[in-house]
Amino acid sequence: MFKHSLFAIAATLALGLAQAAPEKPECIAPAKPGGGFDLTCKLAQGGLQNGNMLESPMRVTYMPGGIGAVAYNTVIAQRPDEGGTIVAFSGGSLLNLAIGKFGRYTVDDVHWLAAVGADYGAIIVRADSPFKDLKDLMAALKSDPTQVVFGAGGSVGSQDWMKSALVAKAAGVDFRRMRYVAFEGGGEAMTSLQGGHVQVYSGDASEVAAHLKGGKVRVLGILSDQRLPGELSGIPTAKEQGYDVEWPIIRGYYMGPKVAKAEFDWWVGTFDKLLASEAFAKLRASQGLFPFDLTGEKLDAYVKERVTHYGELAREFGLGAN
């Protein structure tokens, strides 16, 4: 009888301690509406609500500034313990952390929650380009790097610039001799490529599917560890062609540094369920993203490895990393 009573009390306590879903779930997109951070928050919003994993609607709020720096600093300094708030981040956020663009805070100052998908760098040329594969492009760069003009969204030090610089490095070319034209975004860069104003566009895999169907561009290589599924499965990776260049663009979420363990664990468990669902896989694919699933401790380890790697790259390329 006594043992049964103890078990009953223990079971009751366990139920009482079970973490409930947050009352006011929120996803902060560290930018204006539209773009990658907004997409990342909408993925969480749509996936969690359609999967009935939240008891209340998730709102998306916008906190632009410093490509994520304002949100990072605000959550750490002013909203560190909000158990219902998640913040979108990307591979670009990690690069900025490595370079020191987020101010005094580091990769250790938040809880890295979940990565839900990824895009990958792609080296793109016009369909009538003399470059048929990466080997052709590398040969041209080695012969005379000034004859090849790269274009992409973002200035020197950006993600897209880094893809171009890594390709130049793989060819044994000093990146400072590389010709690079910065555009406001990928759409402008793609238009310039098709107009013949640049010869190579270092963009993203998700951008090229529609253009490939139109027969206007050719993808020389994907900057992923393995071939991508679906329509891009016929395109070889840079690694396959003998060039060790990878550039994953992950999308995910972090939380404030003082969020209670039970609240954080609830989110980790919920994202584990979400990422295992077929409905979310379809939602992610509809947004042009590819599978990349990491949560909790595994994501934390991955993020810290990436920031270290980006820091090394930044120092190598003279970008003023910490």
| pLDDT of residue 154 exceeding 70 | yes
pLDDT at residue 45 tops 70? yes
CATH class of the domain comprising 25-118+248-316: alpha beta
Please report, for residues 28, 48, 129, 246, the alpha-carbon distance to residue 238 in angstroms, rounded to integers and kept in the order given. 34, 35, 18, 8
- ∠ CA 216-220-222, nearest 5°, is 110
Mean of the pLDDT values across residues 118-134? 95
pLDDT digits (tens, 9 = 90+) for 233-270: 999 999 999 999 999 989 999 999 999 999 999 999 99
Residue whose structure tokens are 């760069």: 141
pLDDT of residue 58: 97
CA–CA gap between residue 93 and residue 160 (Å, rounded): 13
pLDDT of residue 320: 62
Q: Tell whether the torsion through CA atoms of 303, 307, 312 and 317 is positive or negative.
A: positive
Supply the pLDDT for residue 10: 43
Q: Residue 32 and residue 23: Cα distance in Å, rounded? A: 25
Instruction: Work out the average pLDDT over 57-71.
Output: 92
Q: How many CB atoms lie within 10 A of CB 101?
A: 19
Say if residue 278 is exposed, middle or buried (CB neighbours under 10 Å; 0-12, 13-18, 19+): exposed
Specify the pLDDT at position 113: 98
Give the start-to-end residue ranges of the domains of the chain.
Answer: 25-118+248-316, 119-232
| 25-118+248-316 matches 119-232 in fold | yes
pLDDT the model gives residue 321 = 54
Q: What is the pLDDT of residue 209?
A: 73
Among left, alpha and beta (phi > 0; psi -120 to 50; other), residue 105 is beta
Task: Inform me whether the pLDDT recorded for 6 exceeds 80.
Answer: no
Instruction: Output the average pLDDT for the chain.
Output: 89
Q: How far apart are CA 281 and CA 295, in angstroms?
A: 16
- Tell me what the mean pLDDT of segment 125-147 comes to: 94
Q: In the structure, what pLDDT confidence band is assigned to residue 280 with cuts at 50, 70 and 90?
A: very high
Q: Which of 107-111, 134-138, 147-151, 173-177 has the lowest mean pLDDT?
A: 173-177
Residue 12 has pLDDT above 50, yes or no: no
Tell me the per-residue pLDDT of 87-107, one tens digit each, with 9 for 90 and over: 999 988 998 899 888 999 999
According to the model, what pLDDT value does residue 301 have? 98
Query: Which residue type, as a one-letter code, is found at position 81?
Result: D
> What pLDDT does 11 receive?
41
pLDDT given at position 3: 47
The confidence score (pLDDT) of residue 8 equals 44
Distance CA 159, CA 97 (A): 13
Least confident segment among 38-47, 59-68, 112-121, 292-301? 59-68
CA angle 249, 254, 256 (to 5 degrees): 155
Alpha carbon separation from 219 to 193, 232, 245, 288, 309 (Å, rounded): 12, 9, 15, 16, 26
Per-residue pLDDT at 213: 80
pLDDT recorded at residue 18: 59
Is pLDDT at 231 greater than 90 in this prediction? no
**Minimum mean pLDDT range among 31-35, 148-152, 226-230:** 31-35
pLDDT > 60? residue 28: yes
Q: Does domain 119-232 have CATH number 3.40.50.1370?
A: no
Within 13 A of 205's CA, how many CA atoms are on the CB side?
Answer: 31
35 three-state secondary structure: coil
Contact call for residues 36 and 160 (beta carbons, < 8 A): no
100 with 248: CB under 8 angstroms? no
Q: How many residues can be counted in the chain?
A: 322
Q: Would you give the DSSP letter of residue 20? A: P
